[in-house]
Amino acid sequence: MIEGSSRKEEDLIAVALEARKKAYVPYSHFPVGAALLAESGQVYTGCNVENASYGLSICAERVALFKAVAAGERQFEAIAVVTETMATPCGSCRQVLAEFGESELQIIVADPEGQMEIYTVGELLPASFTAQHLPPST
């Protein structure tokens, strides 16, 4: 974990905080906002979107990542995630981020009061399953 903050991180947190306002959370009442910085410089936002069929709910991080990939992005620098409790991304989101982020992608977790911690995907999901573990395709 890296301590301290820079303008880049603070800006990304501010965007994630704004995205959190859009969260659709009638069941958990736990809004999450995400802001993903692509290497292109573009920032993609996400919020969690829940469903009456609970298992169909999707996390803020995956919404941001899927939006970015659908827009043509493949390489990312950092993602900020804002929750009331400085939650780190769930296991599913770590795996999905690892697919595109390699181990260096920064994961900035923050709360609305401005507290933050920075991790890398490699720290949060060591020895992850990747395409390298798949057999060569025929």
Residues binding ligand THU (CB under 6 A): 25, 28, 30, 32, 48, 50, 57, 59-61, 87, 89-90, 93
- In the complex, the smallest distance separating the C-beta of residue 29 from ligand THU, rounded to whole angstroms, is 9
- Of the pair 50, 77, the CB lying nearest ligand THU is at 50
Beta strands in 1-138 (DSSP E): 33-38, 43-47, 76-82, 106-110, 116-120
- Of the pair 89, 101, the CB lying nearest ligand THU is at 89
- In the complex, the smallest distance separating the C-beta of residue 127 from ligand THU, rounded to whole angstroms, is 20
- In the complex, the smallest distance separating the C-beta of residue 61 from ligand THU, rounded to whole angstroms, is 6
Q: What angle do CA 124, 55, 25 make, to 5 degrees?
A: 85
Catalytic entry in 9, 18, 39, 61: 61
Long-range Cβ contact pairs of 99-105 (< 8 A, separation 24 or more): 99/130, 99/131, 100/65, 100/69, 100/74, 100/75, 100/76, 101/76, 103/128, 105/76, 105/77, 105/78, 105/79
- Of the pair 40, 49, the CB lying nearest ligand THU is at 49
Tokens of 71: 């827009």
Is residue 73 annotated as a catalytic residue, yes or no? no
- Of the pair 37, 97, the CB lying nearest ligand THU is at 97
Which amino acid makes up residue 40? S
How far apart are alpha carbons 2 and 105 in whole angstroms?
13
- In the complex, the smallest distance separating the C-beta of residue 1 from ligand THU, rounded to whole angstroms, is 17
Catalytic residues: 61
